Chain A
Amino acid sequence: MDKFDGTVRINKKTTNILERPLNKGRNEVHISSFALLFSEIVQYSQNRVTTVADLQTKLSDMGKSIGSRMLDVLVLREKGYKRETRIINVLLFIKTTVWKSLFGKEADKLEQSNDDDKTYYIIEKEPLVNKFISRQKDKGGLNCAYFIAGIVEEILFGCNFHCKVTAHWHKGTTFMIQFDESVIARDKAFDAR
């Protein structure tokens, strides 16, 4: 079986890393380690911006760099996985596969907007990154789960579904996914076939 050359960056100088199966990703660390690291990331980002909107963009950008790497790993690991071509399938892929490998569980809910066919919602009552972070009354609607929104946006982008993903305080946290017109048109064209 081919190793992960070219897809996951590896240390060229250490040989034994090549022998490790990609499934090694099933290791775990304590939630405190992650939470404190994330807290530092939020503080660092906050010190470099002046508005809540900019802070959320920073967190989303940080998430994006994780999303692109995560997609490569997932596509390889989930055996025989092909990139999805339909909106509903790619969203289910996010809700189940992506969520499980990042957070150890499926997302709570996936919904489509009633009055806009471009908009979908992924609802998570208590996203991992918000587990210990109280809502800040003096910071408007700041939701640190923009970090996760960034991951989702980049994975969708990598699957060729251009969209904008935002995070809102609603039923816990709701991730709002707004697809580009072109994506919707393409999906409809599939239906017409």
Chain B
Amino acid sequence: MSRQNSARADGKKVSSELFTLTYGALVAQLVKDFESDEAVNKKLDEMGYNIGVRLIEDLIAKGNVGRCHDLRETADIIAKLGFKMFLGVTPVVTKWSTAADEFSLILENNPLAEFVELPSGHENLNYSNILCGVLRGALEMVQMEVEISFVQDALRGDDTTELRVKFIKRLEDAIPAGEE
């Protein structure tokens, strides 16, 4: 505990409890403000996107990452660097499609959803949908268009939490000169 407190004191880490509760307060507010679960999911995805396009600069600035040249490398960086650095968990990369253009991230622990129970009547709520937006936004900034969705969610009684990442295309026109 003393070690962790010193990591917090140097200003790089915050209590995951505060983070989880803050996220919970946001979702609760959205559920109050929007009519349908679908609208909440959409808003969470939008907010995630806004976070993602900024978070990627953090990863580049503080994580010493170079440009990826294939999806396996990208998947590795997302899991071992991105998730590890920002959420303190390392998802398992698995279930590659034969064309190697799709994979899954399996989250053993989901720091957004710790101690959370979905309220009844919100069966369509994708509680952690913000993660889809974050990944979509971050990857778009490094000129990759992807589709992301939850295929399993432990919050809904699935065995585990699984995010599916599907590569659509490289955004050639957006690649800055000197970066191809």
* A and B in direct contact, judged by CB atoms within 8 A: yes
Counting CB contacts under 8 A, is B28 at the interface? yes
Which residues 63-90 of B sit at the A interface, judged by CB distance below 8 A? 85-88
Q: Which residues of B contact A50 (CB under 8 A)?
A: none
Q: How many residues of B contact A (CB 8 A)?
A: 45
Which residues 22-47 of B sit at the A interface, judged by CB distance below 8 A? 22-26, 28-29, 33, 43, 47
Q: Which residues of B contact A73 (CB under 8 A)?
A: 17
Q: Which residues of A contact B58 (CB under 8 A)?
A: 32
Q: Is the CB of B86 within 8 A of A32?
A: yes
Taking a contact as CB atoms closer than 8 A, the residue among B15, B54, B88 that contacts A25 in the complex is B15
Q: Is the CB of B23 within 8 A of A37?
A: yes
Q: Please encode chain A, from 30 to 67, with 1 for each CB lying within 8 Å of some chain B CB and 0 for all others.
A: 11111011111101100010000000000000110110
State A10–B12 Cα separation when bound (angstroms): 29
CB distance from B69 to the nearest CB of A (A): 26
Q: Is the CB of A26 within 8 A of B1?
A: yes
Counting CB contacts under 8 A, is A83 at the interface? no
Counting CB contacts under 8 A, is A103 at the interface? yes
Taking a contact as CB atoms closer than 8 A, the residue among B25, B87, B156, B157 that contacts A29 in the complex is B87
Q: Which residues of A contact B51 (CB under 8 A)?
A: 36-37, 39-40
CB distance from A157 to the nearest CB of B (A): 16
Q: Is the CB of A31 within 8 A of B14?
A: yes
Q: Which residues of B contact A27 (CB under 8 A)?
A: 15-17, 88, 111
Counting CB contacts under 8 A, is A137 at the interface? no
Q: Please encode chain B, from 147 to 165, with 1 for each CB lying within 8 Å of some chain A CB and 0 for all others.
A: 0000000111100000000
Q: Is the CB of B5 within 8 A of A30?
A: no
Q: Is the CB of B29 within 8 A of A62?
A: yes
Q: Is the CB of B26 within 8 A of A30?
A: no
Please give me the residue from chain B that is nearest to A44 by CB atom. Answer: B47
Q: Which residues of A contact B55 (CB under 8 A)?
A: 32-33, 36
Taking a contact as CB atoms closer than 8 A, the residue among B8, B19, B29 that contacts A37 in the complex is B19
Q: Please encode chain A, from 1 to 32, with 1 for each CB lying within 8 Å of some chain B CB and 0 for all others.
A: 00000001111111001000000111111111
Which residues 56-106 of A sit at the B interface, judged by CB distance below 8 A? 62-63, 65-66, 69-70, 73, 100-105
State A37–B17 Cα separation when bound (angstroms): 14
Q: Which residues of A contact B114 (CB under 8 A)?
A: 24
Q: Is the CB of A40 within 8 A of B47?
A: yes
User: Assuming A8-B115, A30-B87, A48-B33, is B14 touching A103 (CB within 8 A)?
Assistant: yes
Q: Is the CB of B116 within 8 A of A11?
A: yes
Which residues 95-109 of B sit at the A interface, judged by CB distance below 8 A? none
Q: Is the CB of A66 within 8 A of B25?
A: yes
User: Assuming A10-B115, A28-B7, is B13 touching A66 (CB within 8 A)?
Assistant: no
Counting CB contacts under 8 A, is B92 at the interface? no
User: Assuming A9-B117, A32-B86, A34-B19, is B47 touching A128 (CB within 8 A)?
Assistant: no
State A33–B4 Cα separation when bound (angstroms): 17
Counting CB contacts under 8 A, is A131 at the interface? yes
Taking a contact as CB atoms closer than 8 A, the residue among B1, B22, B23, B117 that contacts A12 in the complex is B117
User: Assuming A9-B115, A26-B4, is B26 touching A31 (CB within 8 A)?
Assistant: no
User: Assuming A8-B115, A33-B86, A34-B22, is B14 touching A104 (CB within 8 A)?
Assistant: yes
Nearest first, the 8 closest Cβ-Cβ pairs linking A and B are A104-B8, A13-B157, A27-B16, A28-B13, A25-B17, A33-B86, A65-B25, A66-B21
Binding site for B on A (CB under 8 A): 8-14, 17, 24-34, 36-41, 43-44, 48, 62-63, 65-66, 69-70, 73, 100-105, 128, 131
